[in-house]
Amino acid sequence: MTRVDHRHRHLDRIAEVRAGEVAERVGYPIHIRTVEVLRTRTLGTGLIRITLGGPGTEGFEAHAPDEHVKIIFPDADGETRLPEPNGLMLRWPRPSPTAREYTVRAYDPITGELDIDIALHPGGLASEWARSVTPGERVHIAGPPGGLIVPFVYDRYVLAGDITALPAIARWLEALPPTAAGWAVIEVAGPSEEIDLRPPAAVEVRWLHRGDRPAGSTDLLERAVRALPLSPDERTYVWVAGEAGAVKPLRRWARHELKLPSHDYDVTGYWKRGVADYDDDHEHEH
């Protein structure tokens, strides 16, 4: 009996979606990797970039701006419990290990370097780890489980979110074709959290400053996105991520007011005020 090799089927599907007319979430083979911290640096006052490398990053799957990995941390008793490979998936121990999800900011297949930008907030598990981790330390990452593949066939792109969405928005801006047009709307505390971005010439970046109001507590992002001069005659793609309660009205806006088909928008709760390890699976919709 001939065995069928499914390992690269997802690459064919990604190519098909990119060449088509509608976005689709495509699953990848999921790996658990042991990688090494190469260096860290701050980006503004709100993000720390952790650059990972070593043999463990070889063959990393990086295809879409919104893909993410889980960083697995030791439990309270100091034990690190890792998932086990199970075909093209992982089998996770129960109860779930201590882990946090982060966007893949960049992966270089030549050097094997993998960048993850972590938003800083007081008392956060990964924040404290990012502040204190030193080169040479090893860390376990799982994923990405897949990514949202968006064909670049739209007249306008709307990218919006808070600082937790900023790494994905930065990657989006680098992935868009040079002819792309639209807006990136990003809410941060103030100018010190702004970072350098590389948007196409016709994509306007708008920074929103919430001042001393807590993250996720304002409607700044919603109002700014609703005010964009979108035209019903142009095909628009909307991508929004951030605090679950703050982005929820923009999901309704995309669906009911813009009347976009489900494959023309993706609105995701990346975190929720007061919840340490928020899982967006029930909130996620595209």
Averaged pLDDT for residues 80-101: 93
**Is 60 a residue whose pLDDT tops 60?**
yes
- The answer on pLDDT for 279 being more than 90 is no
**For the chain, what are the domain ranges?**
10-147, 152-271
Tens digit of each residue's pLDDT (9 = 90 or more) over 104-163: 999 999 999 999 999 998 778 888 999 999 999 999 999 999 999 999 999 999 999 999
41-63 average pLDDT score: 97
d(CA 223, CA 216): 14
Burial of 67 (0-12, 13-18, 19+ CB in 10 A): buried
- Contact criterion met (CB below 8 Å) for 60 and 114: yes
- According to DSSP, the residues that pair with 204 across neighbouring strands are 183
> Computed from CA positions of residues 103, 251, 260, 237, in that sequence, does the dihedral angle turn out positive or negative?
negative
Structure tokens at 63: 């295809």
pLDDT at 274: 76
Q: Give pLDDT, residue 124.
A: 82
Which CATH superfamily, name and number, covers 10-147? Translation factors (2.40.30.10)
Residue 172 has a CB neighbour count (10 Å cut-off) of 23
What are the CA-CA distances from residue 241 to residues 26, 98, 164, 283 (Å)?
19, 23, 8, 11
Say what the pLDDT of residue 195 is. Answer: 98
> Closest Cα to residue 250, out of 208, 217, 213, 221?
221
Portion of the chain with pLDDT greater than 70, in percent = 94
Q: Burial of 209 by CB count in 10 Å (0-12 exposed, 13-18 middle, 19+ buried)?
A: middle
**In terms of Cα–Cα distance, which of 161, 172, 195 is closest to 46?**
195
**What is the pLDDT, as a whole number, of residue 3?**
47
Distances from the Cα of 285 to the Cα of 69, 174, 238, angstroms: 19, 24, 12
152's CB contacts (< 8 A; 6+ apart) are: 18, 176, 177, 180
Average pLDDT, the chain: 92
How does residue 208 score in pLDDT terms, banded at 50, 70 and 90?
very high
Q: What is the structure's pLDDT at 284?
A: 39
pLDDT of residue 283: 37
pTM of the model: 0.93
- Please give the order of strands across the beta sheet that includes 32-43: 98-103, 68-73, 138-142, 32-43, 47-53, 113-119, 106-108
225-278 pLDDT, tens digit each:
999 999 999 999 999 999 999 999 999 999 999 999 999 999 999 999 877 666
User: Which fold would CATH assign to domain 152-271?
Assistant: Rossmann fold (3.40.50)
pLDDT at res. 275? 72
